[in-house]
Structure 1
């Protein structure tokens, strides 16, 4: 059964398989790695130019938009689109609380005015009334404005989004 010819065929098959793997590895290296030439004309990847900073000085930060500047051009219609971020936890209908309290008439309302909602207590320490300015600061960084608040939302970084959302909430009946 295992004569010399069978052993030769098995050894030939093993060597042939090994040769196929070697040739495949060589071809893949040519395709993905390229040649040993590292000149700029044949360099792999992209070069990203990074401007040199002047002696380790920090880069000039964008000027902070004030509440007044953002609120002058606030658009309630655009704020309705921003409210989509809030819908998962808040409702606009009076008395229908979700994970968070309802936002019916929130602008100008006392901070802990929703009777059937259990507030964390952190908001009462931060403000008394939800004025536009208080909402603007709170929506930027809820945890920074009222440490310990139940609201786990990271905040709205764009000042225009915050102002638009407040303008939309102010048009809500009851505001």
Structure 2
């Protein structure tokens, strides 16, 4: 029937063909990828900006309450929970600094107005004092508000969370 050498050649040829098939399949998937991604998400190869997104975003922004209204109705207890995202780097005790400066009395304090020596970036771009509006802008996106900052926090996307946090911080010194 078959000797050992012939059967080894047949098995080798089969394995080689399988390997070529798998490499071709892998290469085709890379060249002709149509989406997928993690969790089955589909991604478009390109996006055409029609300008509609900006109009819808502006309409949505106008529909909700203003930041001042959110701040007036802020929940200090919820702000304390939001502060949980900050406490790895900031302390709320007067004069006690950590990776970042103490946030005790931060509302309406001069920007850079503590004895904390590790300020980074261009804090002056944020304004003169940490009033509610300045804090709101800063907490939305710290790296955009003060380019060059070493603060790695991405920001708070929800305006209500920012209002609750500012109300909580404002109540610390009183």
Same-fold call, TM > 0.5?
Answer: yes
Q: Choose between structure 1 and 2: higher helix proportion.
A: 2
Which residue of 1 is the match for residue 34 of structure 2? none
1:72–1:98 Cα change, 3 Å: same
Q: CA RMSD in A?
A: 3.5
Which residue of 2 is the match for residue 24 of structure 1? none
Q: Write the mapping of 1:1-175 to structure 2, written as runs, cut at 5 A.
A: 56=50, 58-59=52-53, 60-61=56-57, 62-63=60-61, 66-172=66-172, 174=173
- 8 A Cα contact 1:78 1:165, kept in partner: yes
Structure with more contact order per residue of length (Cα contacts < 8 Å, sep ≥ 6): 1
Query: How does the TM-score come out when normalised to structure 2?
Result: 0.65
- 8 A Cα contact 1:79 1:161, kept in partner: yes
Query: Which runs of structure 1 show a deviation greater than 3 angstroms over 4 or more consecutive aligned residues?
Result: none
Query: How does the TM-score come out when normalised to structure 1?
Result: 0.64
- 8 A Cα contact 2:121 2:150, kept in partner: no
- 8 A Cα contact 1:138 1:146, kept in partner: yes
CA distance, structure 2, for counterparts of residue 78 and residue 97 of structure 1: 23
Aligned length: 145
Instruction: Indicate the structure (1 or 2) with the bigger Cα radius of gyration.
Output: 1
The runs of 5 or more residues in structure 1 that have no matched partner are: 1-6, 8-55
